[in-house]
Amino acid sequence: MLPLNFCPPACKRGSLVLVRRIRTKSNRYFSPSAEREEEILLKRLETQVVRVKERLAKEEEAKRKSETKTPPKASSPPPIPTATPLNKHASSLWDELVNKDAQGKLAAYGIKSMDQLQEAYREADADMNRPPYPSVQRLKPRLRLAWETYQATLPQKFGMQRRKLPEK
């Protein structure tokens, strides 16, 4: 008999000799001990399934009991919209700073207060400072009008200049 690490020589013409491995032990018949082990394992798994089902049933029952004991939670108050109508002080500022013509144009886009104008301006400014960095002309009409109105009226009337950050 040949040793296990024996390799047949290559043929002279460059082709290799193919070697086929032969099994020494037949697996046609299982040993009786393997069948017993499988039966034991199957019984263990079946008992585990029964225990898990019982535990799940207990947990669901406990959950149902706890739900009936706790009172239902009161619903939270509705969120306050970000652009609410302003009080008298802000409305007088709106009337004073923004002329009637600009108020009419802004009202066409749903901007009827100083808070709404500031919110639209901040949104436009955020859009302009985010990639792809659009110009004012490429903004949505509502945001463009809010940005132009805010820039044209408020800084001039308050004597403010928009600060530019120094470039590095």
Mean pLDDT for the stretch of residues 25-44? 79
User: What average pLDDT is seen over the chain?
Assistant: 76
Pair 114, 102: CB distance under 8 Å: no
Pair 155, 161: CB distance under 8 Å: yes
**Tokens found for residue 32:** 């009786």
Domain ranges of the chain: 32-69, 88-158
Which tens digit of pLDDT belongs to each residue from 79-93?
766 655 545 555 677
CA dihedral 51, 56, 59, 60 (to 10 degrees): -150
Q: What is the pTM of this model?
A: 0.41
Exposure pattern of 3-40 as b/e (b: 16+ CB <10 Å)? eeeeeeeeeeeeeeeeeeeeeeeeeeeeeeeeeeeeee
